[in-house]
């Protein structure tokens, strides 16, 4: 909104400069009209009416273009997702446009009108040089340069920020992955929930063009954050205790999302409720709690559950791209404590090429086929 306001001021200053330059060429005309008896108020009304026509045309064109440009901007921001935003201009938008157009009319029309009615009629009719336009032009020029430099610096900083975020190693694959959420009427028993979840992942992996499929509780850059107080073998905790980020994933999640497995192994179908409890930690976790040594085989205890570290993966951004990566541990979804339901997870399909959204209909049929509820 600040950039929009500056651009509006820049346009007003430019328009005022053009109208002022135009009025300087009409000084002889206005002086003759004044000499013939035209009042100053009448001449002022004429200049304001002319600028009012320009302001009305600009405001009307803005309202018309907003109908299309707003929807185009929304589609660009959505990037395939569904955004339910009321973007249709309403009475408040129209009222704002009218107010801004009137303000523009007054700002751009008052300067040339004031100069025209204050000019020395005798000097102009005798073609004597009359100053004043140069001073106003200099003021407008300085204002335009100042606003333009502010916009240029702001746009440069914004562009640099966007380029830095694009160049940032986020730790996961940004493109070619379809994410799916599942809705259900209620919770499922643990056994049935695990059965449905594994069935869905297995069927998704068989779709044409799918390289791998998996599931996760918290997606990258989702802004969400789960943490757990943990006791870590071989590490002396701080006085306030240690809390680490916590996520639950299905087998092949790191392969699907594109996060590198640095050492150890990924979760497999052998990691069940009855098998020894295991976790995978990220690189920041290993560097903080196990500097200079391998964490493989060591144990982490949280919520009265002791687990063994079987792998280390690269860091990935889960809050946002600007925040520092926090130490994170990943647990397999088949060993998660508590009630299960298929709706708890987001399912991911990594597609070899093309638009992943083309698989949405087929994936939806598979979801309904796995369980009618």
- Counting other chains too, the contacts that 125-130 makes at CB distance below 8 Å and 24 or more residues apart are 125/28, 125/31, 125/32, 125/35, 127/28, 130/27
The conformational region for residue 215 under phi > 0 = left, psi -120 to 50 = alpha, else beta, is beta
So what's the pLDDT on residue 350? Answer: 94
Q: What is the pLDDT of residues 243-258, one digit of tens each?
A: 888 999 999 999 999 9
Three-class DSSP category at 301: strand
So what's the pLDDT on residue 81? Answer: 60
Q: Global pTM?
A: 0.63
Q: 10 Å Cβ neighbour count for 283?
A: 20
Q: What is the pLDDT of residues 153-198, one digit of tens each?
A: 888 888 888 788 777 777 888 889 999 988 887 778 888 888 888 8
Terminal C-alpha separation, the chain: 46
The angle formed by the CA atoms of residues 129, 133 and 134, to the nearest 5 degrees, is 95
Three-class DSSP category at 277: coil
Continuous segment of H or E residues that includes residue 315: none
Q: What is the pLDDT of residues 5-19, one digit of tens each?
A: 888 888 877 877 777
User: Which positions ≥6 away from 187 have C-beta within 8 Å?
Assistant: 193, 339, 340, 341
- Counting other chains too, the contacts that 274-279 makes at CB distance below 8 Å and 24 or more residues apart are 275/335, 276/308, 277/305, 277/306, 277/307, 277/308, 277/331, 277/335, 278/307, 278/308, 278/309, 278/310, 278/331, 278/332, 278/335, 279/307, 279/308, 279/309, 279/310, 279/329, 279/330, 279/331
So what's the pLDDT on residue 119? Answer: 64
The conformational region for residue 122 under phi > 0 = left, psi -120 to 50 = alpha, else beta, is alpha
Residue of 307, 228, 239, 229 lying closest to 267 (CA atoms):
307
Between CA 247 and CA 43 the distance in angstroms is 73
Between CA 137 and CA 18 the distance in angstroms is 9
So what's the pLDDT on residue 233? Answer: 85
So what's the pLDDT on residue 337? Answer: 64
Q: Which residues of the chain have pLDDT under 50?
A: none
Between CA 257 and CA 215 the distance in angstroms is 10
Beta bridge partners of 350: 177, 212
The two tokens of residue 180 are 């799916």
């Amino acid at each position: 909104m600040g950039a929009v306001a500056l651009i509006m001021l820049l346009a007003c200053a430019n328009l005022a400069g053009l109208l002022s330059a135009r009025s300087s060429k009409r000084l002889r005309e206005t002086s003759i009209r004044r000499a013939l008896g035209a009042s100053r108020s009448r001449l002022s009304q004429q200049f304001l009416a002319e600028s009012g026509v320009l302001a009305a045309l600009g405001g009307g064109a803005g309202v018309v273009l907003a109908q299309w440009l707003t929807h185009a901007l929304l589609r660009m921001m959505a990037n395939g997702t569904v955004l339910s935003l009321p973007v249709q201009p309403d009475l408040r938008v129209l009222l704002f446009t009218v107010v801004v157009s009137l303000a523009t009319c007054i700002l751009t029309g008052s300067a040339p009108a004031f100069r025209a009615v204050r000019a020395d009629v005798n000097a102009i009719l005798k073609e004597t040089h009359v100053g004043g336009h140069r001073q106003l032009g200099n003021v407008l020029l300085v204002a335009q340069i100042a606003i333009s430099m502010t916009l240029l610096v702001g746009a440069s900083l914004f562009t640099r920020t966007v380029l830095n975020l694009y160049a940032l190693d986020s730790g996961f694959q940004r493109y070619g992955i379809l994410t799916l959420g599942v809705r259900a009427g209620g919770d499922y028993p643990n056994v049935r929930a695990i059965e449905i979840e594994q069935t869905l992942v297995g069927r998704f992996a068989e779709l044409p063009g799918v390289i791998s499929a998996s599931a996760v509780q918290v997606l990258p850059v989702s802004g969400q954050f789960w943490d757990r107080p943990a006791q870590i073998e071989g590490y002396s905790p701080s006085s306030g205790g240690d809390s680490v980020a916590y996520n639950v994933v299905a087998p092949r999640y790191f392969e699907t999302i594109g996060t590198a497995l640095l050492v150890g192994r990924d979760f497999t179908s052998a990691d069940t409720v009855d098998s020894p409890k295991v976790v995978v930690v990220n690189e920041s976790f290993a560097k903080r709690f196990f500097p200079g040594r391998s964490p493989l085989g060591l144990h982490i205890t949280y919520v009265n559950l002791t687990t063994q570290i079987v792998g280390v993966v690269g860091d990935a951004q889960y809050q946002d791209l600007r925040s520092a990566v926090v130490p994170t541990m990943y647990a397999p979804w088949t060993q998660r404590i508590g009630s299960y339901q298929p709706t708890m997870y987001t399912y991911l399909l990594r597609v070899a090429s093309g638009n992943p959204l083309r698989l949405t209909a087929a994936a939806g049929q598979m979801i309904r086929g796995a369980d009618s509820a």
